[in-house]
A and B are shown apart, each in its own frame.
Chain A
Amino acid sequence: MLTVEGLRSRYGRIEVLHGIDLDVASGEIVTVVGANGAGKTTLLKCLSGIQPVSAGSILFRGEALTTVSAHRRVQRGLAQSPEGRQIFTNLTVEENLRLGAYLFADEKVDRDMQDAFVMFPILKEKRNLAAGGLSGGQQQMLAIARALMARPSCLLLDEPSMGLAPILVAQIFDVVKSMKALGVTVLLVEQNAFGALSVADRGYVMETGRITMSGPAAELIADERIRAAYLGI
């Protein structure tokens, strides 16, 4: 579904992605784990088209994406829940969700919103409040729900567990796992390597702009080097 080859990107003169190769098959949950500053967020920004790519290619459902503008990538089925809960703080929860389905104006929008409220009941309770007043965990749920409103075939999730209380982290990872049943392919970027690898089919380890290891999630989680470097075991 998603194939990335030799992807390079830079901020000014400093290159932060030094040729990333990665692929995600339809229906898979794939995770990219790595420390803070490894370039994981930059990778997702490149995939969504909000960070320029200096070399390499991105193929999504057989089509080249590199020259496609950000809003058109959403049209093609690639949606992102960005890092740092980038929600529309001065709009209500419901308006945020409605804007998630900006590309659509049919009756399925209402059904999707009801589904989002079933998935995150707290959002239903706060639907008429300004999103900026939500707690961190609630904002994270809103960001994920908003991305799902775009009816993506592939969902990019950037650090969904960041800064959340442990009980919420477990809940968020449960939601990620449930994407399989919805038929949504997931590329999950996480610092929380253990949580991410527990729900993923396959994983990539990223260090300072390069992929250093990859394989089935179960193998990575059992790997001595990963246990030492990322799992703190």
Chain B
Amino acid sequence: MPELLQFLLSGITVGAVYALVALGFTIIYNASDVVNFAQGEFVMLGGMITFFAHAAGLPLPLAALIAIIVTAGIGVALNKLAIEPARGAPVVSLIIITIGASIFIRGATQLVFDKQLHRFPAFSGDQPILIGGATILPQSLWVIAGALAVFVCLWLFFTRTLIGRAVLATANNRIAAQLVGINTNYVMTLSFAMSAAIGALAGVLVTPMTLTGYDVGLALALKGFAAAMLGGMGNPKGALVGGLLLGVLEAMTAGYISSQYKDAAAFVVILAVLFAMPQGLFGRKSTDRV
């Protein structure tokens, strides 16, 4: 039993990271129907910028704050320089633009920083906490709390605030959104800033456990994307549940079968779910009447 609990705890930790990446996907997708494959780079930038700011002598919380703000700025720049000029292009073209942006950011990071792996100290020490025979790192609790906090904030944002609904309205019908007085350019800018900030936060939280380097973003983007698809693209609840589920699945496969099969097992389950429920677990049914 302690074994099961141990796998569960590490699965939830990894899953919380996936959930954070998936939540980042959710916002931009909700605003524009675009799946932003540069989302993983935001996570990478969060970790890298924090490390170098910290190494330059800044206290860790300040370094993390700077990383989140700078990454949000890079998200805005991505929208202004790459997505906005291509407005009117098919969604697929926009998605390919984000893949290009992701390659560019990775290359630029190599040049500006370096190609080494880095870590900075965990927030609350490295002493594992014992829970019923299993252990969990204090940093894991930070990651899980971070994912939950971001989820609650996003859920409130989309369901309780007018600007949140304006984001949903812009995705649903951009022209109609303009006709009710919504500044759709501002909505897009805001979405990219929020998405990038959430990605950077994920990077700040996980780096003490997983290390960071210029190329860690791609794998995270793929797992986060899979988690978002599993939960239902565009739904914060789906992103959270999908992320946690994917993490636990991986941990169980790695623990009970073999760590070599952990990615395969996760994707087989995702395929099975999507065959039965193409919208994902919490995806909206399309209710358009023609």
Q: Does B276 contact A (CB under 8 A)?
A: no
Closest residue of chain B to A134 (Cβ to Cβ) is: B289
The range of chain B's interface size is 20 to 34
Residue of B nearest to A73 (CB): B181
The segment from B36-44, B136-144, B168-176, B257-265 found at the interface with A is: B168-176
User: Range of interface residues on chain A?
Assistant: 35 or more
Cβ–Cβ contact A130 & B287, under 8 A: yes
Given A80-B179, A82-B175, does the pair A89, B168 have CB atoms closer than 8 Å? no
- Contact pattern, B 156-181, Cβ under 8 Å of A = 1, otherwise 0: 00000010011011001101111111
Residues of B close to A34: CB separation below 8 A:
none
Report chain A residues within 8 Å CB of B162: 98-99, 102, 105
B164 to nearest A CB, angstroms? Answer: 11
Is the pair B289, A86 in contact by a Cβ cutoff of 8 Å?
Answer: no
A114 within 8 A of B: no
A88 B173 Cβ-Cβ under 8 A: yes
Chain B neighbourhood of A102, CB < 8 A = 162, 166, 180-182
Given the complex, which residues of A lie within 8 Å of B179, measured CB to CB?
A: 48, 50, 70, 74, 79-80, 82, 86, 147
In this assembly, does B115 line the interface, its C-beta being within 8 Å of a C-beta of chain A? no
B183 within 8 A of A: yes
Q: Is A103 an interface residue (CB 8 A)?
A: yes
Q: Judge if B184 is at the interface, Cβ distance under 8 Å.
A: yes
Cβ A100 vs Cβ B180 within 8 A: yes
Among all A-B residue pairs, the 7 with the closest Cβ atoms? A74-B181, A132-B287, A70-B178, A86-B176, A88-B172, A71-B183, A103-B181
15 contacts across the A-B interface (CB closer than 8 A): A48-B179, A50-B179, A79-B180, A86-B176, A87-B173, A87-B176, A88-B172, A88-B177, A89-B288, A98-B165, A99-B165, A102-B181, A136-B289, A149-B180, A150-B180
Chain B residues at the A interface, C-beta cutoff of 8 Å = 162, 165-166, 168-169, 172-173, 175-184, 284, 286-289
Given contact pairs A50-B175, A71-B184, A102-B180, a sample of 7 additional A-B residue pairs in the complex whose CB atoms are under 8 Å apart: A70-B179, A79-B179, A79-B180, A86-B176, A87-B173, A99-B162, A99-B180
